[in-house]
Amino acid sequence: MNNPISFSILSFRNLTGLILFFFIGIGIFLLWPYVSIQEADVFIPVDSENIPEGMIITKGPFTGIEVHVRGPKSIIRTLSDLKIQYTIDLSAIIIGVNIIPIHQARIPLPKGVSILKINPNSITVKVENEIKKKLPVNISLTGKPAKGFMFVRAEAKPMSVTLRGSEDTLDRMDKVSTKPINIKGLSGSFKREVTLDLVENLKLVDSSKIILATVIIKEQLTTITFDNIPVQGDGGLYVYRITPPVITIKVKGPVNMIEKLYTSNGVRVYVDLKGLKPGIYNKRATITLPVKTTLIDATPEIFKVKIIDQKRIR
């Protein structure tokens, strides 16, 4: 027969063990993310400080380094939110190429996270003397104006700016250009604000980055000769004869207008016959041209007009 006291003691021990096992399980479940180990690659941005006065960095891939780390899974997951940054001290750099090692101890990682590998383990920095230089501003243009119009000139305000940058870069520059302005199809002058097209590592000194560009576009002028234009009589009461019967003229004006004038026979030449009685006269011709056009030459200048004693039929 079983002893009731022994059974009670055994039952109590089993229950205690189950409860203890239960709490241990919960503890392991809750602590597992903190004790679970994980490896990961972390990108860390690189910045610089303490650049000596009179020097400028012309080549230095200050983008970042890739660090292979190991640590608790819960901490590894938060690394991207910590905004970790590695800063390079450039106080000891010299003119030329400098190779600067990455110091593991200066990478600010949380406790419990160890670094297994750094790539790259050094950064190459090229340093040059920094100078200032005053350069004229060039207005950069693309495209062509509308047909019959031409680009005359472009003016910048201010006309020149002072740049700060590497000696090597500025020594090779004789001007600084703006971002391109497209003038394709334009038929008139205009003003526009535009920015300078600066190469990397060049900066403006005590000046605005905005340039006021004035672009002058005018109608393109041309000169054309019209041959064998009939010379008419105007206002006469009698039959007349004009010798020679044609005239040659040279006209200057806008291309578009001159072309239309040529194709439409828009030039009128006549001799004023008002009040003339039968007889022979030497007369100049009147030449009518559109606005904006100019008569350059006319041959002949004087015409022989013979008025016949015979009424014109109207």
Are both 114 and 55 inside the same structural domain? yes
Indicate the pTM of the whole model.
0.61
Given this model, what pLDDT does residue 56 score? 85
Provide the residue type at 170 as one letter: L
CA-CA distance, 256 to 147, in Å (whole number)?
8
The count of domains in the chain is 4
User: What CA–CA distances, in Å, run from 152 to 59, 155, 254?
Assistant: 41, 10, 14
Query: Exposure of 309 by Cβ count < 10 A (0-12 exposed, 13-18 middle, 19+ buried)?
Result: exposed
129, 162, 186 — which closes off a domain? 129
Cβ-proximal residues to 55 (8 Å cutoff; 6+ apart), any chain:
93, 95, 127, 128, 129, 130
How far is Cα of residue 179 from the mean position of the Cα atoms in its chain? 4
pLDDT (0 to 100) of residue 32:
47
Same domain, 165 and 226: no
**pLDDT for the residue 18:** 59
Do 98 and 145 share a domain, yes or no? no
Distance linking the first and last C-alpha atoms of the chain:
159
Q: Are 19 and 41 part of one and the same domain? A: no
Quick count: other Cβ atoms within 10 Å of Cβ 134?
10
Q: pLDDT truncated to tens, each residue of the chain (314 aa)? A: 455 555 455 454 555 655 665 555 555 445 444 557 888 899 999 888 898 988 888 876 568 899 999 999 888 888 888 888 998 888 888 899 999 899 998 888 888 898 999 999 898 888 889 999 999 999 999 999 999 999 999 999 999 999 999 888 899 999 999 999 999 999 999 999 999 999 877 889 877 788 999 999 999 999 999 999 999 999 889 999 999 999 999 999 999 888 888 777 678 899 999 999 999 999 999 999 888 899 999 999 999 999 998 887 76
Q: Write the CATH number for 88.
A: 2.170.120.30
Q: Are both 275 and 300 inside the same structural domain?
A: yes
Last residue of a domain, one of 193, 219, 245: 219
215 and 139 part of one domain? yes
**Residue 18 phi, psi dihedral angles, 5° rounding:** -65, -45
Q: Which two tokens stand for residue 233?
A: 């009589």
CA pair distance 124, 61, nearest whole angstrom: 8
Which residue range is the domain that position 7 belongs to? 1-35
Same domain, 261 and 304: yes
Whether residue 28 is found in the same domain as residue 109: no
User: Domain boundary residue among 129, 153, 173?
Assistant: 129
Do 283 and 295 belong to one domain? yes
Strand-pairing partners, residue 272, are 234
Task: State the pLDDT at residue 21.
Answer: 57
Residues 283 and 230 both lie in one domain: yes
